[in-house]
Amino acid sequence: MPGSGPTYPLATMPPDDPTPTPTHTVGQRLERLDARAKVLGTARYADDLTFPGLLHLKVVFSTQPHARVLAIRTDAARRAPGVRAVLTAKDCPGENLIPLVLPDLTLMAADRVRFVGDPVAAVVADTPEAAHDAARLVEVDYEPLPAVFDVLEALRPGAPVVAPPISGPAGHGGANTAPNLFNLLEVKKGDLAAGFEAADVVVEQEYRTPYQAHAYLETQGMTCVPEPDGVFAVYGCMQCPFYVHEAVARVLGVPRHRVKVIQVGTGGGFGGKEDVPSIIAGLAALGAWHTGRPVKLVLSRKEDFETMSKRHPALVRLKVGAKEDGTLTALEEQLWLDGGAYATLSPVVLYRAVTHAAGPYRWPAVHVTGHAVATNKVPCGAFRGFGTLQVIFALESILDELAERLGIDPLDLRLKNAVRVGDALGTNQALTESVGFIETLERAAEVSGYREKRERYRTWQEGPKRRGVGLGCLLYGVGLGAKGKFIDRTGAHVQLYPDGSCAVSIGNAEMGQGLRTVISQIAAEELGLEFSKVQTFDGDTSRVPDSGPTVASRATVMAGNAVRDACGQIRRELRAEAGLMLGVEPDALEVFQTWVRVKAAPERRVAMNDVIARAAHARRALTASGFRLPADTWWSDDEGQGKAYEVYTYATNVCEVEVDVETGESRVIALTAAHDIGRAINPTLAEGQIEGGALQGLGFALTEEVHIDQGVIKNPRFATYIIPTAMDSPELKAVIVEHPYSGGPYGAKGIGEPPIMGIAPAVTNAIKAATGARLFECPATPERVTEAMKAQGVAARDEVAV
């Protein structure tokens, strides 16, 4: 394999015992393990914890987009009542650094601030009020520097340097070699010139997508507790306990065994609790280090909005060609992601963007060039979809333009070019299994009544209201892929008790998606236990294996496989014991529901409970650790090709919109989302992901926009940053399509991110169908729709008749 670097052996499953066919828990709509605690209000989140002697921390953030820090005056704050410490960058006992892809993010700005919201000081006091009052007494002398807020300006020679060149670990997403360019990535396939030469129709267009704020209902929060044995315990909301672990050890300058991180109830993540919790924990830990007391930091909604990461705004220039019959011939794209002031995860967000730019279609020729760019604005990082919403909006919009030029229905254009098993993606990755794209197209069209509505809405009108139906499709590479494989592994610990109950510990995080429930279902299936007999525990880094981040829709697959690995080891012991009980060789036995039975004579069986009791008495090993690596992936930066991800999920969204052509207001009437997720371990939870992701996608499509002026966020609250309410939730139909993946537990592929990804173009394609106006930028606010209608000379259809 070209440019593959080191290869990783796959952990092997126990060869003697194939996974049992799902019989009683996998695939069932079982109730969440944490549902009861959450409806009773007893589930505990970051700010619900308290500790004796607890102090409170308030951060002083930069008010300048770009400035030299000349002095930080803390005397007045130190003298304020109740204040225990006032800390700045020089107070870090270890390194003033939050390690991510590139080593550029400081815990607190030392001599230069790069955005409005860069932490410059921290005040620790007896009460939140005292910390708040004292923080206002900290004075910072700034010498303003020229700032840059636009990606294209930032790359011009002579632009203010936000991010100087810096190197990251080799192979870890790349280094920025030019000022303000975090990284540049290309995807190259086939002969582009020949592709456009062969085209009968070529469409070229520019698209823009906005910031999006995670708007999780629980803001960031952490408490660090110094323990008597010299260990710093960190409690809080997060997706990646081991990122926090590494960061806190680094900031405090202690070996990692002096830190333990315990994830507590996490009130929404969506990527927003991937990287930035390390900053919150680092600050709390610094406070605890200097005061010797527990220190809590919980951000206010405004602070969270203004300083925490966002979805990257993007500029996309896209050109596509096709033959008269609709056969796609070439795709050329240039992409700029606005990464803000620090690299954080931008290099890997860009990787996902460029590798997904060509979508689930067959293209003979592709050339994508992507740039992740630094500006003096809030850093952008992980957000559900991770760089894909931007390229999907462009691609799915331009495919509809192409379809119109060709006189082909958008659904037929997609069906004609959809990838199947045996095809290669734009990255030239060959698809060998589990490609359910066409079925998602067919199912979504059928369930939504796409063709019939497309026809009916052509002439539909009611006063100023027009209706349209539109499509938005996508594929999604499951897991961290080739640029993230250096941290891609999972572990699990499974302990079976003599009474037939079972404890499972995993290193991935429950943040509402239902991971603990799904893991319990898998363990119950694997060990022949009732679901109620399995408890899956939240992570404590001192007790669970580093399982990488809980991101990239990877946890069901990765943690699920690690749990299967552990359960397989225990099952071998159970079958040996059952073999003695039944007088047959263990190989002749299988686990079925809550029994062990003879394969050839299923009526000969023993209850799993009895087997476990005897096995425990015989002192068999009923506890095991599981460990898994993903299937190997690789990427060649030079060739712009590779096996970018181990497997892909596919989806089709059909959106029905009603537009008031007088006001430009769009209302989504219905949304159908068909997802090929390999296998739904728990269909209710999978639907929950689809429904929730779809509504977040509608927010991105219609209302959500962060307004930034000279680096200052102007709408940092729910009253001005508009996320969908119950009134905005349309009829949502989640359709699950199952093309099993041989490398996933019971065929599962993952479902966390895809639901949000293809919504925006489905909406704007429907608006185009309804009004005749094409939006090249989202969200589709009434202003934008009205302007587009005016600019494109589209009279409201049948206006004369009104």
Residues near another protein, by CB under 8 A: 29, 31-32, 34-45, 47-48, 129, 214-219, 265-270, 300-301, 511-514, 684-685, 687-688, 691-696, 717-719, 723, 725-727, 729, 732
Tell the smallest beta-carbon distance from residue 470 to another protein (Å): 19
User: Which residue blocks in 85-127 are alpha helix, DSSP H?
Assistant: none
Residue nearer to another protein on the CB measure, 104 or 704: 704
Contact 469, 656 (CB under 8 A): yes
Residue nearer to another protein on the CB measure, 639 or 691: 691
Residue nearer to another protein on the CB measure, 102 or 559: 559
Angle at 776 between CA 775 and CA 779, to 5 degrees: 70
**Strand bridging mode 601-607 / 595-598:** antiparallel
Tell the smallest beta-carbon distance from residue 271 to another protein (Å): 12
Residue with tokens 């799902």, as numbered in its chain: 22
How many whole angstroms separate alpha carbon 300 and alpha carbon 358? 40
How many whole angstroms separate alpha carbon 610 and alpha carbon 248? 47
Angle at 657 between CA 653 and CA 663, to 5 degrees: 145
Tell the smallest beta-carbon distance from residue 397 to another protein (Å): 24
Contact 668, 702 (CB under 8 A): yes
User: Which residue blocks in 368-449 are alpha helix, DSSP H?
Assistant: 388-406, 410-417, 437-448
Residue nearer to another protein on the CB measure, 270 or 741: 270
Residue 215 — left, alpha, or beta (φ > 0 → left; ψ -120 to 50 → alpha)?
A: left
How many whole angstroms separate alpha carbon 782 and alpha carbon 703? 9
Tell the smallest beta-carbon distance from residue 264 to another protein (Å): 12
Residue nearer to another protein on the CB measure, 195 or 716: 716
Tell the smallest beta-carbon distance from residue 724 to another protein (Å): 8
Alpha carbon 476 to chain centroid distance? 11
Q: How many CB atoms lie within 10 A of CB 324?
A: 11
Tell the smallest beta-carbon distance from residue 283 to another protein (Å): 20
What single DSSP character describes residue 22? P
Tell the smallest beta-carbon distance from residue 755 to another protein (Å): 9
Contact 58, 120 (CB under 8 A): no
Residue nearer to another protein on the CB measure, 54 or 581: 54
Give me the amino acid identity at 146: P
Residue nearer to another protein on the CB measure, 596 or 756: 756
Q: Which of 395, 371, 430 is nearest to 182 (CA)?
A: 371
How many whole angstroms separate alpha carbon 114 and alpha carbon 376? 6
Tell the smallest beta-carbon distance from residue 45 to another protein (Å): 6
Residue nearer to another protein on the CB measure, 333 or 538: 538
How many whole angstroms separate alpha carbon 454 and alpha carbon 443? 16
| Sheet of 623-628, strands arranged across | 534-537, 502-506, 490-496, 623-628
Tell the smallest beta-carbon distance from residue 394 to another protein (Å): 25
Residue nearer to another protein on the CB measure, 711 or 724: 724
**Strand bridging mode 119-125 / 55-61:** antiparallel
Tell the smallest beta-carbon distance from residue 707 to another protein (Å): 17
Tell the smallest beta-carbon distance from residue 416 to another protein (Å): 32
Residue nearer to another protein on the CB measure, 215 or 496: 215
Contact 72, 138 (CB under 8 A): yes
Tell the smallest beta-carbon distance from residue 372 to another protein (Å): 26
Residue nearer to another protein on the CB measure, 46 or 441: 46
Q: Which of 344, 351, 336, 350 is nearest to 378 (CA)?
A: 344
Residue nearer to another protein on the CB measure, 44 or 257: 44
How many whole angstroms separate alpha carbon 673 and alpha carbon 650? 11
**Tally of residues, the chain:** 802
